[in-house]
Amino acid sequence: MSEIKTVGACLGQGAEGSIWFFCPGCKGPHSIKVNSPNTPGPNWGYNGNPDSPTFTPSVLTTGFEHVTEEEHATLMAGGHVEPRPFVCHSFVTEGRIQYLSDSTHALAGQTVDLPDWETSWESW
């Protein structure tokens, strides 16, 4: 992972310019590319406030949940584990995350403050 530096109360920034925030719903960081319309790939608008950020449009992260210890044992024994899709969909507005109802984690439908970047990053 590239070097991440703290740029405000709740954001980090990658060496290539990506912006990082810690997601309490996923219990891990999300990275987005901001204000770079001439570069390929997804790109978000950013209000430039690292202490109370707003990103537009919504942030959508998809993938699969990590296997549990029990599932890992099943796999190691030659068994099959069905992958579980994962969705984290939110609006980040003025330093708060509004999780949309299609999120698959426990914070779906809730709005929470972005946590402190340094504390979250260090504990991750």
**Tens digits of per-residue pLDDT, 16-65?**
889 999 999 999 999 999 987 777 888 999 999 999 999 999 999 999 88
Report pLDDT digits (tens) over 62-74.
Answer: 998 888 899 899 9
Q: How many CB atoms lie within 10 A of CB 69?
A: 7
* Domains in the chain: boundaries: 4-123
CA distance 97 to 72: 32
What is the C-alpha to C-alpha distance for residues 20 and 8, in angstroms, rounded to an integer? 11
